[in-house]
Structure 1
């Protein structure tokens, strides 16, 4: 099962979609920023229903619980499932392709619709007269390799025939924690902003320790009045949940921010989060 969520889905909602997938199968592979793969073999036996029914159950759950409609493609391989989910024109829907339907279903599709074929590869194939997946499957793999290159050519020739041995590899999104502070009014006092940032650092460190987590990186995002934003991300030399480590890195970010903000006209203050 290949699941596509709406574009620009907030990360917290995307995580909730992944949780809904995990209720159907223990083998879920996150494909950020908004897609995922699900292995259904064991789940079909466990739930006692067919794959299309599981796709419909998933849609009902994401709509009713999250207000998110997903597109679900189901097939005997990753390529077929991902191609199927990409052929659903509506905001959401389920398209299931059985093992015996793969050749007939893939054949009429334009080459660019085959999952894994990029625009340049599609153009190279069209220049050669290969405009649909059926023609791509019919020409010798050696010819496809000459057109697209060795490995890409082999993969394209195999996938046009429905051959894709890749397994679904369980992969979750890295756990994250965040804290936020919004000023009730425009704030121009640098000391007040720094004090708020340092308070957030302590709160974040306490949150990490309470969860038993350690940070590997920090992202500081400031949103100013007028809608502009400033963001910096730093990787920590080693994982840490201590406020001293986090505070030192925030201080450096704040000093950098102060240097970049010098020279801006009055009234440029705003709120940070």
Structure 2
């Protein structure tokens, strides 16, 4: 079976950019505009990351991709006051892994196959971009503890452990191969809420209670703005510092607590954390649009749900008058999930 070929700087260079966790959504948008001065191929990765694909950097700018990334980082600091970490390579997943390990310089440039291999090989296997805790644990049970071990393992064996498509994709990424390209897109309108645990936790009750709190916060905010959300993204930071996220598109744009709760808990269940300790939860409502652009509320034939939908405006008015979150959903929401 033929494998995707490695590209070179003449073909493409991909920057993966991360903003500091305290960066505001408005500052993130300004960073995207700054990246647009270097290339039209900028893809936002909410809440605080982005991709940029460049070609011919030495010919156009007179410097190599790493030096150009340093220039962009300095401009972000001086013009916007935003600190960026940028990973630079010829593959999306490799650049994303590099941007999380830039060190004090803020930029990590991997110019060729030798540099990519030397960087990836000693990393723990859970550093592969896109791998989940359960998948990493499965590889470790078979003695594959580093990215280099995964890259060197026979593809058939990896596919037996992780499944055909997943095994091939993760093994390719461990070898620095990722055929995905950057798709130019506008930053979607979004709003987010986050919860940081006092100590790393694996208690599912505490995790779900925190998520429910975030759901209610976002739902109230959307209804207050007369907006609806089309997508929901859940980003989870683990005890080791790694971050994983998933996105779900709602059947129809909604600002109802019920709909956002259902989508959010589906995302959490799909992540299959098992015994992983969690440090921070971020919930993002994306692709926002005016409420009057969406379809009207449909009859669900569920009396309990219909009662909750009728109560939402009443609860919103109580909270607006007497204080945020004075009234909210009952604990039965957790049991229903």
Q: TM-score range, shorter-chain basis? A: 0.5 to 0.7
Matched, 1:141 2:194: no
Structure 2: runs of 5 or more not aligned: 1-14, 191-223, 226-252, 257-284, 295-310, 325-337
The 1:71/1:261 distance shift into structure 2, 3 A limit, reads: closer
Shift of 1:161: 1.4
Distance 2:320 2:189 in 1: 32
Q: Select which of 51, 63, 74 maps to 1:49.
A: 63
Q: 3-state SS of the aligned residue for 1:162?
A: coil
Q: Deviation per CA, 1:202-260: give whole Å up to 9, x if none.
A: xxxxxxxxxxxxxx9999xxxxxxxxxxxx98853528xxxxxxxxxxxx986652356
Q: Select which of 168, 172, 191 maps to 2:186.
A: 172
Shift of 1:132: 0.7
Between 1:165-174 and 1:100-109, the stretch displaced more is: 100-109
Structure 1 length-normalised TM: 0.66
Distance 1:13 1:81 in 2: 22
* Aligned position for 1:79: 93
Q: 3-state SS of the aligned residue for 2:291?
A: strand
The 1:34/1:5 distance shift into structure 2, 3 A limit, reads: same
Distance 2:320 2:39 in 1: 49
Higher strand share: 2
Shift of 1:53: 0.9
Q: 3-state SS of the aligned residue for 1:164?
A: coil
Q: 3-state SS of the aligned residue for 1:157?
A: helix
Q: Select which of 38, 53, 56 maps to 1:24.
A: 38
* Aligned position for 1:257: 316
- Greater gyration radius: 1
Within a 5 Å distance, the mapping from 1:1-273 to structure 2 comes to: 1-90=15-104, 93-101=106-114, 102-174=116-188, 236-238=291-293, 257-258=316-317, 268=323
Task: Tell me the matched-pair count.
Answer: 208
The 1:49/1:237 distance shift into structure 2, 3 A limit, reads: same
Structure 1: runs of 5 or more not aligned: 177-199, 202-215, 220-231, 240-251
Structure 2 length-normalised TM: 0.54
Q: 3-state SS of the aligned residue for 1:24?
A: coil
Shift of 1:75: 0.5
Q: 3-state SS of the aligned residue for 2:293?
A: strand
The 1:62/1:145 distance shift into structure 2, 3 A limit, reads: same
